[in-house]
Structures are given as C-alpha cells and as structure tokens.
Structure 1
Amino acid sequence: MESLSKASLLLLPLLFLSLLSDSHGEGIAVYWGQNGGEGSLAETCNTKNYQFVNIAFLSTFGNGQTPQLNLAGHCDPQSNGCTGLSSDITTCQNGGVKVLLSLGGGAGSYSLNSAEEANQLATYLWDNFLGGQSGSRPLGDAVLDGIDFDIESGGREHWDELARALSGFSSQRKVYLSAAPQCIIPDERLDSAIQTGLFDYVWVQFYNNPSCQYSSGNTDNLISSWNQWITVPATQVFMGLPAAEAAAPSGGFVPSDVLISQVLPKIKQSSKYGGVMLWSRFYDLQNDYSNNIIGSV
C-alpha cells in the first residue's frame, strides 16, 4: 500500500499537467450572421461544435459615420430589432463558447482616418457591446467576450491603435482580440495591428488567395504559408478555411478527409496551433464540415 501511495503521489503532477494541457484546448471558430438560413445563434452554439463564434459584421464605422451592424436576414438593428440576441449570446457563453463581434467584412463602409477615430470606436465598442454601459446596446445587455478584426477594405492605418485602445479596457474586464488576415503575409491592412502582440487569436484566411491555399490535391502552398504565420506574435493561430466549395469562389476548399490526413497532422505540431476557423455557419450547415473534422481538430 505504501509503494502504491508513493506511485500515486508521483502521478499527481503528471495528471495536473495533463489537465492544464486539456484546458488550453483547441477548437473550431465560426462566423455567424450573414445568412438567414444558418439558424439562430443559440442553435449554432448548441451544436457543441464551436469554441468561438464571431457575430458578423459591424460593417459601417469611421469617417464620421454612425457605427452600424449588418446581420443580414437575422434582425434589423436600425429598428432596435437585434436586442433579442442577448439571450442567445448568454446561452453560448454558458456553454463555454466565446462570442466576439467582428468588424469589417468583405463588403461595407468602414475606415479609420485617425488615431482619434480609433479611440472613439474603441470606446463605442466597449460601451455598446463589451463591459461598458450604454442605453442603446444593439445586441442587448449581454456582454460579448471580445472583438474580431476582419478588415478587408477601408485603408491600412490606425488598426494597431484600435487594438491598443481595446486592449486598454482589459484592465476592467478581459477583452479578447482576434484577427482574420488574408494568407498572403504580411497582410496589407492588419500587419501593424498583429505586430502589437495583443491578439489572442489569429485565424488566417487560407482561401481566395491562390498563392497560399490548397489547390488540386497539393498542400505545399498551404503548409508553407502556415509555417510563416506561426511566427507572428499571437497567442494562437488558426487555419481559416471555407466550410464548402461555394464559400470561397476563388478556391481554397480542403476536403475534410484531406484536412484530417494531410494537413492537421502537420499544423498541430506547432505550439501556436489553436484550431480551425470556418467561413461560415451557413456553409457548414450545408456541408456538415465541422461534424466531419471535430474529432481531429
């Protein structure tokens, strides 16, 4: 019995380290909000497939414009019709899912023309979506976990200042920051922001960019680009992929069997590997992609 007790004591530190490793975890991030046919936010989180959901998008801001949500087909923010999402957000968070608001997108009217505008937007986001207080919270009273930068247009400057300003609010309540750069490195708009080292998650869009995506059975460009991205100063890097061929007109779709057998074993060797990001919940629902890969992520 004595020798058994000693063995048990020796195993305890290993068990503790194992639990720590598991708690760090890897998972799937997904974008939700741009197709009314993708189901509700609560339904998305209740699948238990996703560790992160990005609500897409706050697509109007800067240049003197009033910030405006566009949640195509789900609700009308202009009539205060999206406040009901508050209960869905809480459902997600209670299930262990981090919910972020994504800025930008592929279509919209957004830019930052000065450091002052960056600071103003950070304050607006804190007051209306994060831990601050505002009477006009577009998504209701629920407190989001952070902000995602999906900046695909709107100039190249001041995104680093926005990241610093948002990060400053973490002294009051942690604000998670994520970024969705194109896979061509450095990203022409987000590089300065990513180089601040403030981003918790960088989910790189390895699609719609032929030079750094999967194509015709060849993973070389994809893996080569991944190996560059894991050198950026971010806590975790995710492989961003289309959940179906239709999700990326310019290519980059990786069949789930190829991802599992040829890609994941290589990218998971990095200590910065965080998981897989999917565009989007609608296409994932059509193609069952996350269900196919979740056991291997």
Structure 2
Amino acid sequence: MTRVFWFLVASLGQGPNQKRLSQYCADPSIDVIILSFVHLFPQQASGYPGIDFGNQCWAETYAGPGYGGQNKPANNRLLKCPNLQRDLYTCWQTSTKKILLSLGDGTTAYQLTGAVDGENLAKQLWYMFGPRSAGFSVDGFDLNIEHPPTDGSAGYRALATKLRSLYATAPGTFYLTASPRCVVSDASMADALRATTFDMVFVQFYNTAQCSARRWADANRNYAPGGAFSAAGFTYDAWTSLLAGTYSRNARVYLGLPGSARAASPWFELTVRQAANLANAYYRRSNFGGVAIWEATYASENVASGKNFYQNLKAALNTASTNKRLSCVPR
C-alpha cells in the first residue's frame, strides 16, 4: 500500500446512540472506518456469520442454512441493516475512505474448529461482503481475535491465508488487517499474523497496563517533540521486530487508543496532548501508519478546543508531518 503517515482509523459499531455511517464518511478527519463486529461464525450462527453493529441494524435476521447438518433458526444472527447498506454505497460514491469489516471482539462466543472451518468462513465473507456483493461491499477484513483458539490456530491461519488468496482473484486493492493486544506476542493472534501478509496492524495499546499508551504517557510527562523518551514497557518497537520476521514485515503499525474514558477502563484514557506526544515520538518510525481509535461514537463525544478526539488527533498527525524536529527521532 502507499505510504501515508497521517491515516486516522476509527472503529464504528459498538457505541451508544451511534450516528449513521454516512456522517463519519463525510468527516475528512477519518481515513479508514472499521465496522465492528462479525461476532459469531457459521458454527455458532446457523451457517451464516453473526453481526452486531449496534443501532445500525434491525432485529430481523436472514435465515441461515444451518451448520453440520443441523438447522437452528434460534441461532440466526445475520441481521438486516438497510441503512448501513445504503450508507456503504454513499461512502463508496462520495469519499475515498476505506471500509473494513472486523471479525471477533471481546466475547468468547465465536470459534473456528480447524482449517476447513477457516477456509469456508473466508469464502463466505468474500462472497457476502467482497467486491461481488450486492450492496454490502467492503475494502477488506480485520481480525480482532481476543480469546485463545481451541484448534491450535489452524482455523485462523487458514482464514487469513484464504482471504489473501481470494483478494488476488479480483481487480482493485483489498486489505487484510489485525487488531492485536499490545502484549508481544498476542497469544490469540500470533499464528495468524505469521501465516500470510497483513497490510495494517492496529495494536490495542489499552486494556493491558504493562504495554499501554497510558504507561508511556506517565513515564514521559515532560516529552518534547523530537526529544528522547523512555519506552516504559510500550511495545511499538517490539511489534515492529516481531513483524520483521514475517510476511507482514512491510505492514503499517498503528497506535490503537481509546476514544474517551468511556471507551475502555478510564485509566487508559489519554488527553489530546498526551496522545499527540505519543504520535510525535513514533511518527518517524519507518512503518508508522497513524492512530486507530476505539470507538468512533465515544471519540465524537470527547470534545476539546471545539474538536472531537479523532479530529484533534488527525490535526496532530498533520502537524507532525511538517515538524522538522521529528526527522531524526532516536530509536
């Protein structure tokens, strides 16, 4: 992918009283939108993926074909989302934003069982949400697997590898991304990340204290752009080293931050200044991609100096791109 330093990524789908996708598509501060989540896989949702985008969908579901010879209508979870479908088309017509569909979340309800399950899910996602989809087409898929697999990661390895091979069958550019926790390496996703090429890695530098952005901010209260700083357990460079030995050595790494005190445990929240300092500190890393914010609704309600959190962070990234003091940041 083209190197762009100032990408701002926002996740959408789990905040209260969410605005419609079309409103975020109209905001020039955002470059990538991650729709969250596909939270159930066919084995758990009567043969179709289960989706949960909060108020963006209705209670009505599509009838699944069943799984493993059993059809359980009570497990149907592929919700109908007509407004979201319309907004996806509007985004495609009116903006250059990339829309990704995220798989997983923090629950333990989803699981793959073996490589065949993973390959079948990849094909199903591609035909339901890929370029041939009638009305619900996205630019790629994000893996946000937050609990350990029970099959030795065979399913997730096969899922990632099959998606990558399917991308090559269609014109255009499609993205495979991951949202691991900041611990190196994330036990739930390490094998999948080594299996094939990922384009972007949105590391969650929150919810895990020892490698969090909050710990970095507390250790670098007097940081000035271009100056030295203490890593203080922050694992950005460790993720770079891990990826260097994989197919994803050229992936862009993003600073995953909570959009407000409500988006994660309040302790992990950063002020705009703290988040900007962190971005400045790592901006000149050769694989730096930008900032990824969880979650768009919470971030839009977090206002300072007349701008919401993600607008302030996009402004900070744009400022960093012209700051000559950041040209020789020590590693």
State the TM-score, normalizing by the size of structure 1. Answer: 0.84
> Is the 8 Å Cα contact of residues 44 and 109 (structure 2) preserved in structure 1?
no
Secondary structure of 1:229 counterpart: helix
Secondary structure of 1:217 counterpart: helix
Which of 56, 60, 68 aligns to 1:74? It is 56
1:173-208 C-alpha deviation (Å, 9 max, x unpaired): 333111000000101111112123411110000001
Equivalent in the alignment of 1:15: none
Structure 2 counterpart of 1:46, one-letter code: A
Equivalent in the alignment of 2:206: 207
1:274 Cα offset (Å): 0.4
- Flag structure 2 segments of 5+ consecutive residues without an equivalent: 62-78, 221-229, 244-248, 303-307, 318-331
Residue 217 of structure 2 is aligned to residue 240 of structure 1: no
Which of 285, 298, 304 aligns to 1:270? It is 285
Q: Distance in 2 between matches of 1:145 and 1:153?
A: 25
Structure 2 counterpart of 1:203, one-letter code: F
> Is the 8 Å Cα contact of residues 13 and 37 (structure 2) preserved in structure 1?
yes
RMSD in angstroms over aligned alpha carbons? Answer: 2.2
Change (3 A) 1:54 1:222: farther
Match runs of 1:213-224 below 5 Å: 213=212, 214-215=214-215, 217-219=218-220, 220-221=230-231, 224=234
Q: Which moved more, 1:56-65 or 1:163-172?
A: 56-65
1:17-50 C-alpha deviation (Å, 9 max, x unpaired): xxx98x7342111111113412000101111111
Equivalent in the alignment of 1:4: none
Q: Distance in 2 between matches of 1:76 and 1:70?
A: 10
> Is the 8 Å Cα contact of residues 89 and 135 (structure 2) preserved in structure 1?
no
Which of 224, 228, 239 aligns to 1:229? It is 239
Secondary structure of 2:127 counterpart: helix
Secondary structure of 1:38 counterpart: coil
> Is the 8 Å Cα contact of residues 212 and 221 (structure 1) preserved in structure 2?
no
Equivalent in the alignment of 1:121: 121
**Higher helix proportion (structure 1 or 2):** 1
Alignment length, in residue pairs? Answer: 270
Q: Distance in 2 between matches of 1:222 and 1:59?
A: 34
Equivalent in the alignment of 2:96: 96
Q: Distance in 1 between matches of 2:129 and 2:82?
A: 11
Q: Distance in 2 between matches of 1:70 and 1:161?
A: 24
Equivalent in the alignment of 1:150: 144
Residue 30 of structure 2 is aligned to residue 50 of structure 1: yes
Q: Distance in 1 between matches of 2:250 and 2:264?
A: 25
State, as a whole percentage, how many aligned pairs show the same letter: 25
1:84-139 C-alpha deviation (Å, 9 max, x unpaired): 32221133233111001110111262111110000110011011001245xxxxxx
Equivalent in the alignment of 2:301: 286
Structure 2 counterpart of 1:227, one-letter code: D
Q: Distance in 2 between matches of 1:276 and 1:90?
A: 25
- Flag structure 1 segments of 5+ consecutive residues without an equivalent: 1-19, 134-139
Structure 2 counterpart of 1:245, one-letter code: A
> Is the 8 Å Cα contact of residues 57 and 84 (structure 2) preserved in structure 1?
no
Change (3 A) 1:62 1:222: farther
Q: Which moved more, 1:33-42 or 1:213-222?
A: 213-222
Secondary structure of 1:265 counterpart: helix
